[in-house]
Amino acid sequence: MTYIFHSHTSTELNTAQGSVLHLKGRNVEENQFVKMGAYHTLDLTIDQKFTITKSEWDSVAVMLVEQAADPTQQADLAAVIMHEGLAYVCLITSTTTIVRAKIEMNIPRKRPGLPTAQHDKGVTRFFDQIMQALERHIRFDIVKCIILASPGFVREQFLEYMLQTATKQEKRVFLENKGKFVLVHSCPATSMP
C-alpha cells in the first residue's frame, strides 16, 4: 500500500498498544486504497518494514533517518538491570528504552556445608556474558553513563569482577570508561518485559 502525505498533521506514539506510531495526514495522490485528499492514519509498529521515498534528501534528513534506524547512534545512557542469573542490557534514548540483550543463566545455589565452586563458576560465566553484551551493544564513545542496577549486591560484585577481568585481559574499553558506571538499587530483573 502506498501513502503520499502532502501535509503531515500529527504524530503520536502509543505504547499501550505495543509501541505503535500513528501518522496522520492527507493523501495527495489517489490510489486503489485511498482517494486523493482523504485524511488517513498510518500505523507503524516496531520491526515492521517500510520504505520512505523522497525526491531530494538533504544531509539533515539523511542524518535523522540514520539515527532512527540505529539507536546506538543517539543513546547516551545505558543500563544493565540484573539479579543473579538474569540481566537485561538496555539502551535509553530521549524517546525509548531498547533491550539490546537478555542474559539468562542457571546458576547453582550455594548450599550450607558444601563447596561453592559450582556457584562461583556459574556467576563467572554470567558476568562474562554481561561483559560481552556490553562490548557488543554499547557505543562507549557515545554513552555518557551506564547504570548497573540490581537488588542486593549483584551490581557491586559485577563491577568488581568487570574491572578485575578488564585489568587481567587488558580490555581497555572498560578501564577507560570505569567512571561512567553508576551503581543503583533496583527491583529484581524479573519485572522487566
d(CA 81, CA 158): 11
| 66 inside domain | no
**CATH (domain of 148):** 3.30.420.60
Are 46 and 82 contained in the same domain?
Answer: no
| 68 inside domain | no
CA 174 vs. chain centroid, Å, equals 19
Looking at residue 173, its pLDDT comes to 96
Give the pLDDT band (50/70/90) at residue 34: confident
Give the pLDDT band (50/70/90) at residue 127: very high
Are 109 and 165 contained in the same domain?
Answer: yes
Predicted TM-score (pTM) of this structure: 0.69
| 32 inside domain | yes
| 131 inside domain | yes
Looking at residue 45, its pLDDT comes to 78
Is residue 56 classed exposed, middle or buried when 0-12, 13-18 and 19+ CB atoms within 10 A define those classes? Answer: exposed
Give the pLDDT band (50/70/90) at residue 139: very high
Q: Is the pLDDT of residue 182 over 90?
A: yes
Instruction: Give me the mean pLDDT over the 34-54 stretch.
Output: 77
Bridge partner list, 183 = 148
Looking at residue 17, its pLDDT comes to 52
Which structural domain, as residue segments, surrounds residue 163? 73-191
| 56 inside domain | no
d(CA 122, CA 107): 5
Give the count of domains, the chain: 2
